[in-house]
Structure 1
Amino acid sequence: MTPPLVGAADIRAAAERIRPAVHRTPLLGGDGFWLKPEHRQRTGSFKARGAFNAVARLTADHVLAQSSGNHGRAVAYAAARHGLRATVVLPDTAPVLKVDAVHALGARVVVVPPALRESTTAELAARTGATVIGSADLDVIAGHGTVGAEIVADLPDVRTVLVPVCNGGLLAGVAAAVKAVSPATRVVGVEPALAGDAAESLRLGTLVRWPVEQTYRTIADGLRAPVLGEPAWRHIRVLVDDIVTVDEDSIVAAQEFLSARFGVLAEPSGAVATAAYLTGQSLGATVAVVSGGNVAATVPAGERVSVEHG
């Protein structure tokens, strides 16, 4: 039997559960364009919402996550708030800023080549018995859905919501929340053209995986996942109106626009939704989710010796 999709009741329950641990971010802007500034969120990205909701529902004492950085940081944060041990698997291309932030929250960090993230996580789970918190798990999706619920509460007339896409947990959650209240509002995913597996999946109607050698070409380090998570995909194929792509120059231009107009320092992954707006890929009153502000450092984690290597 196919598990049910996350619904409005799940998202309302998640909102109550995470209230003590996250910020309710206000919309910024006007005149037809607003930002949902999740770069102001705890841990510097929207990921705190889903991670905290998932960890709060566990009885385990050790949690495990694999991440490009922000999800791992959020799981480490949630684990620390609940007094749990955390292990985070990161790629050796992860920005030092993100690696150090995970360390600072008391998590054990294991660094591996990007192609070994999934297999290393599975091996660690089998060996340690830790509970894996996937970035597109249903409880994570419900937590991320609070982003969408807040958007439609603050701007009931929104016509288009633009959402960055990695594993798809944020897009799935936002779509579930928005469509439950405002079915006519368009929910559009945005990803780099160099990591366009989600756009291809939606176009073909079947889940497509891209090699990491392709997805790791983009500067948007938080959006390099080679495939959508299966639970997220089940939501996206039903609820999402479109997934569009933006090129690398548009991402940089969006970062500059966000800084100049709003004083927002967004990481490349956090700027892709704004890039879609600037390139004319939205209709009517638009909200772009700025998913994170953990701007990449220049030295990748693989060149540092302060982390444990897998």
Structure 2
Amino acid sequence: MEGKMTDLNGDLLTIEQISGARQVLQTSGLCFHTPVLHHVQTLCGLDSDIDLYLKLENMQNTGSFKIRGLVNQMTHISDSAVRGQTHLISMSCGNFGKAFAYMVQQKGLKGTVFMPDTASASRAELIKSYGVGVKMVPMAELEPAVNKCLMDSNTMNLFHDNIDVMAGNGSVGLEILEDVPDPDVVVVCCGGGGLLGGTAAAIKLSGRSNTRVYGVEPEGAPSMYESRKAVKPVVVQGKTKVLGLAPPYTGYNAFRLNVEFVDDVVLVSDDEIVAAVKRLFSRGLVVEPAGAAAFAAVMSGKIPDVKGKKVVVVITGGNVTTQELNKICG
């Protein structure tokens, strides 16, 4: 049995780990330095006093930022896993599973994704198309099912709450600073919290201590928001249609990074997220609901003190079907 759900005694992420992960990504040929759109406040229909930048991770390989963490994590798996002697598993309702399946296929390995039974059938079929197995289970049974698999067979869990994954995610922060060296505010969607924590760590550890970093969650799935209030990771039963931002729990490592490097977490409604998807689509950007939450927070005025400031919004993913967009946009 290999893998564990959290690194309870691990150190916080370092700038050396993030920079090392960035080099891994640059040489892998599997990740790209995604574009930043500059000064797009008027284009996006926002107050002209905001200097708005959009970091387009919806244009990343596999359609979201998730591939970053997995490319880096795959460089740290065991020799037996590299040789295909260990079965790789993961847990996801969509984007992480797609990136995982892509990586497993690229490496010629074997893998299975555990998905909540509330995930769309199209996501499950897409993941299967990469040649990996999919097991659909009720949301409350996801973690127990993964743990049982880890106990019963020669498996390794590639999971979200992992320092190597977060170091890869932190490359987003380094790229932001290359394109916008002096941002005042950076806004990031928060599901499990690994992108938010990794990006914030990269920015703050690069010497931008005055840059404010905000996370954004749905009102119906405020796991990081409630964890910060409780000063410990908590479980929240999600009541949101934005499943990509509704993990069953907040990871320990993600929580630690968020407490250390993130200034605050704000909440947006599902309706505000849908309005953001529509606004971005009307401007020519295909963004899934989970990828639009950070923009929704800026659009709805949830981020404080942005007048006259350079505000970078991370658009985290664009994995949405035409049928789903038609339903969202009417």
After TM superposition, the score normalised by the length of structure 1 is: 0.91
1:205 maps to: 231
Residues 199-208 or 6-15, more deviating: 199-208
Supply the distance in 1 between the matched residues of 2:38 and 2:131 (Cα, whole angstroms): 37
Residue 26 (structure 1) aligned to one of 20, 35, 41: 35
In the alignment, structure 1 residue 63 sits paired with structure 2 residue 75: no
SS at match of 2:126: helix
1:73 maps to: 98
Matching residue's letter, 2:64: S
| Distance change >3 Å, CA 118–CA 298, structure 1 → 2 | farther
Which string of whole-angstrom CA distances, capped at 9 and with x for unpartnered residues, describes residues 175-213 of structure 1?
1101112111111100000101211211332222112xx
Is the Cα–Cα contact under 8 Å of residues 162 and 253 in structure 2 kept in the other structure?
yes
Supply the distance in 1 between the matched residues of 2:25 and 2:103 (Cα, whole angstroms): 10
Supply the distance in 1 between the matched residues of 2:58 and 2:17 (Cα, whole angstroms): 24
After TM superposition, the score normalised by the length of structure 2 is: 0.85
How far apart are 1:97 and its partner, in Å?
Answer: 2.8
Which string of whole-angstrom CA distances, capped at 9 and with x for unpartnered residues, describes residues 152-187 of structure 1?
111012111111111111111101101112111111
1:272 maps to: 293
In the alignment, structure 1 residue 252 sits paired with structure 2 residue 274: yes
SS at match of 1:195: coil
1:185 maps to: 211
Supply the distance in 2 between the matched residues of 1:85 and 1:11 (Cα, whole angstroms): 28
Residues 97-106 or 234-243, more deviating: 97-106
Residue 6 (structure 1) aligned to one of 13, 18, 34: 13
Residues 171-180 or 74-83, more deviating: 74-83
- Structure 1 residue runs of 4+, over 6 Å off? none
Residues 232-241 or 31-40, more deviating: 31-40
Is the Cα–Cα contact under 8 Å of residues 233 and 251 in structure 2 kept in the other structure?
no
Which string of whole-angstrom CA distances, capped at 9 and with x for unpartnered residues, describes residues 137-158 of structure 1?
1110001000111011110121
Which string of whole-angstrom CA distances, capped at 9 and with x for unpartnered residues, describes residues 263-297 of structure 1?
11111100100001112233221111111111168
Supply the distance in 2 between the matched residues of 1:206 and 1:66 (Cα, whole angstroms): 22
Supply the distance in 1 between the matched residues of 2:323 and 2:34 (Cα, whole angstroms): 29
Residue 245 (structure 2) aligned to one of 223, 227, 234: 223
Is the Cα–Cα contact under 8 Å of residues 56 and 82 in structure 1 kept in the other structure?
no
Supply the distance in 2 between the matched residues of 1:50 and 1:39 (Cα, whole angstroms): 15
Supply the distance in 2 between the matched residues of 1:248 and 1:195 (Cα, whole angstroms): 10
How far apart are 1:26 and its partner, in Å?
Answer: 1.0
| Distance change >3 Å, CA 122–CA 188, structure 1 → 2 | same
Supply the distance in 2 between the matched residues of 1:186 and 1:124 (Cα, whole angstroms): 41
Is the Cα–Cα contact under 8 Å of residues 95 and 297 in structure 1 kept in the other structure?
no
In the alignment, structure 1 residue 194 sits paired with structure 2 residue 225: no
SS at match of 1:271: helix
How far apart are 1:226 and its partner, in Å?
Answer: 2.7
SS at match of 1:21: coil
Supply the distance in 2 between the matched residues of 1:98 and 1:178 (Cα, whole angstroms): 32
1:119 maps to: 144
Residue 169 (structure 1) aligned to one of 159, 172, 194: 194
Supply the distance in 2 between the matched residues of 1:149 and 1:280 (Cα, whole angstroms): 26
SS at match of 2:313: strand
What count of residue pairs does the alignment treat as equivalent?
294
Supply the distance in 2 between the matched residues of 1:195 and 1:132 (Cα, whole angstroms): 24
1:234 maps to: 256
In structure 1, list runs of 5 or more residues that go unmatched. Answer: 300-310
Supply the distance in 2 between the matched residues of 1:158 and 1:105 (Cα, whole angstroms): 38
SS at match of 1:200: helix
Residues 139-148 or 16-25, more deviating: 16-25
Which string of whole-angstrom CA distances, capped at 9 and with x for unpartnered residues, describes residues 8-60 of structure 1?
11111111112211111010141511111111111111000001111122121
Is the Cα–Cα contact under 8 Å of residues 140 and 248 in structure 2 kept in the other structure?
no
Supply the distance in 1 between the matched residues of 2:65 and 2:212 (Cα, whole angstroms): 20
Supply the distance in 1 between the matched residues of 2:120 and 2:285 (Cα, whole angstroms): 19
How far apart are 1:2 and its partner, in Å?
Answer: 3.3
Supply the distance in 2 between the matched residues of 1:105 and 1:94 (Cα, whole angstroms): 17
Q: Which has the higher helix share?
A: 1
In structure 2, list runs of 5 or more residues that go unmatched. Answer: 1-7, 42-50, 325-330
Alpha-carbon RMSD: 1.6
